């Protein structure tokens, strides 16, 4: 499944298209600086990769699924 990043993720800039891989845990520590702001709801984190081979762990709230 493909997605677009809603914020910078390490080597991958905001707006990069990525491939969603396997689940990599959960994120229960959101701050005001994160997309969508502070949250008390735990969300899944997935390993994502871009076309250049960069891999990052990204909170699903920071991804927009592509059709």
> Residue ranges of the domains in the chain?
2-58
Output the pLDDT for position 37. 66
- What average pLDDT score do residues 39-63 get? 90
Could you say which DSSP state residue 12 is in?
A: B
Angle at 9 between CA 5 and CA 12, to 5 degrees: 75
Output the pLDDT for position 16. 96
Q: How far apart are CA 60 and CA 57, in angstroms?
A: 9
Residue 64 predicted with pLDDT over 90: yes
Band (pLDDT 50/70/90 cuts) for residue 46 is very high
| Chain position carrying tokens 């081979």 | 53
Which tokens in the block code for residue 65?
């699924």
pTM of the model: 0.77
Band (pLDDT 50/70/90 cuts) for residue 27 is confident
3-state SS class at 1: coil
């Amino acid at each position: 499944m493909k997605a677009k990043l809603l914020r910078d993720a390490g080597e991958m800039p905001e707006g990069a298209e990525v491939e969603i891989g396997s689940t990599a845990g959960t994120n229960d520590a959101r701050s005001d600086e994160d997309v969508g702001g502070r949250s008390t709801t735990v969300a899944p984190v997935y390993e994502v990769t871009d076309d250049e081979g960069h891999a990052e762990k990204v909170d699903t709230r920071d991804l927009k699924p592509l059709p």
